[in-house]
Structure 1
């Protein structure tokens, strides 16, 4: 079996050029964007100007993240990437060279895939005749992929020619969308050492979504028949060709090794765990202060969402959340909901004086934010403004009365409020209060009746009744500073919560629990998540470090649901002091997952690639 290659000191970095190719360079469409972007601050200092990223150019995505080098600047540069860009521009290619405006500011080459559309017929014919890769006539995404593959091949070969007899060239491709260039690079014997990483096999993701016993059936899968069944044969064939054509084939977790063996017919040479750029604070208590700051913002949302119907003590309320791509079964939303329903019953029966507000943050098609949700937030703001006006008026009059009075007793404060403000206060509260239940969802979905989360909540009658100890907020849009409901970044929202819940059934790596750990927030993961499996294998006593791993391998759904329920129950029973201590433990061990420590797995894979011809 492949191993997570032992870390190496920077002194053993290969003396070579490195081009890292990904569809998500300056193009936020999936999880690889987080992998590449977060790794940059650890990669650039180690590789310097020998490092370059390569991706497709989409103007609407790149305009906010990419800064193009001016022509006069580019003309002064003599490194192989700049020389290659100048040569290709002289030959008429639409190609950009500049900087990605992220921490580390890596150099980036972006190529417009649409410029090759005039040659698509020949490119597709060559893929079929030379490599057995079929290509439909009417799939624009696949057309973009193969066009970019052809253009990236040309760029890589140009760099290789410039470097002939000098430094060796490493090229690292991420996922099938860029790996399509590999078979032709190998056929033409391009002097480059090729690494290919699959972060999740394409067919594995489809199968897991549709087969509740995916892992049991894995070794009997007919990859060709299944890829045709799901209408993904071209992409799966590209992925297999990239895996077999690369000098070094890698994946991100031991869990995906089995997928690669049975679905791609090649055992990975190495496992490359993913990390994050961990933010550290000079003052150890600073992350606790940030937790309080952003929890206060979540408190505002909760007051607006619930308090118009009924209130509860915010000091006795815990905020749980889950987030990620909407894959009801794969992401463990089904298991999470079942555990929440059981937890709700336990809390009611046990008389525990704690409320849990559970946030589901995902992306679903919606028509608009629920107007009632927006209206209640606006009315609560009116309540706030009225209270502030009364506070200011009473404050001034109380100060005057205190200075002028010889009576040491506190005067009747109500007498210091004008009738206007008394009336406005009363009317504002009358318009604020309602008998309607707080909605479980914040937006109006396009297909409300067929949403799995909503249908479970209806069946379980988990609909935000006052007697429920577990309240639900389903937010079918990602959290951002432009959101009128939260008005903060996703990372800030995470810091304000108490626990992330991610008991995935299919998760080749899993950034969401890792993002919690990076921010000092405990997280639940599963042993079917690459991150959870890595934690079990490499982190001593993970629960003490705030990483809770639900066992799903060889367990029934009911058994896993009961284990998750018990984890949530024990977390609810923790005292405030215990929760603070646990956040301290999480924060203090976050360095285990810093790219500064995990990047070296990549360097070992590169060294292995350089040994192979």
Structure 2
């Protein structure tokens, strides 16, 4: 007989990225919101930092009627500075934004209490630690105020905190309102990311690393401490993939209770003729810009490939992508011209005026602009990793080279001054994407790519790549729509060769074969929709509620004895 899962009556989630689009967690929360809002209408509350005070935030629609009585009480009696409204995303869930700055004056007392109650070491705090911790604590205070005003012991309540930045709030809630079940989700361990980013081999030596020792070596003690203590103390500890769970076991000395894989919604993918038209338009935009920059006449049969994401040169595998493209210039099996993009925001200055002029004129040009690798000037043209590597590899973008590389170093928000299209409206025009990550807890970029029927190349060091392998029962191949390359600490050169060979192979396929691969890619994307992955969240709620209940009974017993 299967045990009935306990379901919460109220869910609170706190993250630095609620109504604040700064990274991948925004995608997790904003795409999942509708699924949870449908299941728990207006009983799911997202808590974020009010970092937009006095500025217009397009993602937040304030509503003074929402939770009106409690809001008045929270502001007047509990002295919390909050704004309540709706998060402007599908599902429009309730969002509570909190101004955490008033808590800075109590910082030392808060840190002392965290040390006494949970051995959280805030002594070595620097950078964003204080800001994150004060927000986290403020979010905990908000939940405590809501609970005491609106709820009783009969209500089943879950508080889910995302990343080390909200750990302190989860611990505060557990101590102040022990009736609330706590969940902590780490999307990447701070130490794992730091080891990888500092060019130390992460995977072969993972078993030998001691998280506390590495935290000291990498000057990360406080972030590591809050992350580790939260993982050990909450009612349910979760992470986003098997590969990150291995880090949790070794570096935090605590395996996850549940793995919450990152799903998505495909409501941003156009259908039917709209899809075909958008793809055509995207290709035209990309080729027109490339021809203006390079002084070439690349036609529609050009194979357009791309990579994108955060500018983490090694972790995201940008270095190995460039290496592969360089080797491709000498590949005899390449059947098409290749136009390769790197859509990664750098330290961008202004859009190139010379390129803008060419795009605005009706002429065709047969000479390249100077520095024909980049669409926008950078503040650090002489010290940019992408440009440095292109120079080192002696890539030329010359008219007779079969492989051209263009770096688009800005956010594709529709108003960058050169392409002026949204990221999703451009990715649809590519033929193949490459995400050869070295460190990637999940990997939304390859998943978004296949949602647009663009086959992708990734690695088994990305959570997404591992998931595809588990889906197929073997490593993913190009014909599946997702090619998953085996990557280790030391096989950089083989990875570059495999990428080169896969691009070559793709260039010789017929239209029928390509369409089959594109449809297979879309089939894999369908399996990652939230309706499939949300089940894991329900298991996490159940574990948290049961453990909180045990914790409470134990407390009661202890006080009776």
Please report the TM-score for the alignment, with normalisation by the length of structure 2. 0.91
Correspondent of 1:328 among 293, 306, 313: 313
1:390 alignment counterpart: none
**Is contact 2:240-2:261 (8 Å) kept?**
yes
Q: Secondary structure at the match of 2:61?
A: strand
Correspondent of 1:536 among 469, 481, 486: 469
Distance 2:80 2:189 in 1: 32
Cα distance, 1:281 vs structure 2? 7.5
Residues 93, 184 of structure 1: CA spacing in aligned structure 2 closer, same or farther, 3 A cutoff? closer
CA deviations 1:338-371 (Å, max 9, x no partner) are 111111210xx34x55111111111211333333
Paired residues, number: 542
Correspondent of 1:524 among 448, 457, 469: 457
Correspondent of 1:358 among 312, 335, 340: 340
CA deviations 1:289-314 (Å, max 9, x no partner) are 322222122222122222x3x333x1
2:136 alignment counterpart: 149
Residues 358, 50 of structure 1: CA spacing in aligned structure 2 closer, same or farther, 3 A cutoff? same
Cα distance, 1:501 vs structure 2? 0.5
TM alignment of 1:293-304, pairs within 5 A: 293-304=281-292
Q: Secondary structure at the match of 1:110?
A: strand
Distance 2:330 2:39 in 1: 53
Residues 240, 457 of structure 1: CA spacing in aligned structure 2 closer, same or farther, 3 A cutoff? same
**Is contact 1:480-1:486 (8 Å) kept?**
no
TM alignment of 1:45-84, pairs within 5 A: 45-59=38-52, 63-70=57-64, 73-74=65-66, 77=67, 83-84=69-70
Cα distance, 1:216 vs structure 2? 1.2
Q: Does 1:500 align with 2:433?
A: yes
Cα distance, 1:134 vs structure 2? 3.4
TM alignment of 1:447-526, pairs within 5 A: 447-526=380-459
Larger Rg: 1
TM alignment of 1:339-488, pairs within 5 A: 339-346=324-331, 349-350=332-333, 352-378=334-360, 381-383=361-363, 432-434=365-367, 439-488=372-421
**Is contact 2:335-2:504 (8 Å) kept?**
no
Cα distance, 1:611 vs structure 2? 1.4
Q: In terms of mean alpha carbon deviation, does 279-288 or 160-169 score higher?
A: 279-288
Distance 1:62 1:192 in 2: 34
Distance 2:316 2:99 in 1: 34
Distance 1:497 1:282 in 2: 15
Cα distance, 1:67 vs structure 2? 1.1
Gaps of 5+ in 2: 549-561
TM alignment of 1:197-276, pairs within 5 A: 197-276=185-264
Cα distance, 1:31 vs structure 2? 0.9
1:31 alignment counterpart: 24
CA deviations 1:390-417 (Å, max 9, x no partner) are xxxxxxxxxxxxxxxxxxxxxxxxxxxx
Q: In terms of mean alpha carbon deviation, does 448-457 or 268-277 score higher?
A: 448-457
CA deviations 1:419-440 (Å, max 9, x no partner) are xxxxxxxxxx6xx443656611
**Is contact 1:437-1:464 (8 Å) kept?**
no
Q: Secondary structure at the match of 2:377?
A: strand
2:527 alignment counterpart: 592
Distance 2:271 2:355 in 1: 38
**Is contact 2:6-2:545 (8 Å) kept?**
no
Cα distance, 1:283 vs structure 2? 5.7
2:121 alignment counterpart: 134
Higher share in helix: 1
Q: In terms of mean alpha carbon deviation, does 454-463 or 195-204 score higher?
A: 454-463
Gaps of 5+ in 1: 1-7, 384-428
CA deviations 1:417-465 (Å, max 9, x no partner) are xxxxxxxxxxxx6xx4436566112233233333222222112211201
1:106 alignment counterpart: 93
Distance 2:238 2:547 in 1: 14
Question: What CA RMSD, in Å, does the superposition of the two structures yield over aligned residues?
Answer: 2.4
Q: Secondary structure at the match of 1:612?
A: helix
**Is contact 2:163-2:187 (8 Å) kept?**
yes
Residues 123, 283 of structure 1: CA spacing in aligned structure 2 closer, same or farther, 3 A cutoff? closer
CA deviations 1:175-221 (Å, max 9, x no partner) are 11111122333334521111111000011101011235211121222
CA deviations 1:159-188 (Å, max 9, x no partner) are 333322322111111111111122333334
**Is contact 1:317-1:355 (8 Å) kept?**
yes
Residues 508, 220 of structure 1: CA spacing in aligned structure 2 closer, same or farther, 3 A cutoff? same
Q: Secondary structure at the match of 2:13?
A: strand
Cα distance, 1:595 vs structure 2? 0.9
Q: Does 1:278 align with 2:271?
A: no
Distance 1:186 1:435 in 2: 62
**Is contact 2:160-2:170 (8 Å) kept?**
no
**Is contact 2:183-2:236 (8 Å) kept?**
yes
Cα distance, 1:139 vs structure 2? 4.2
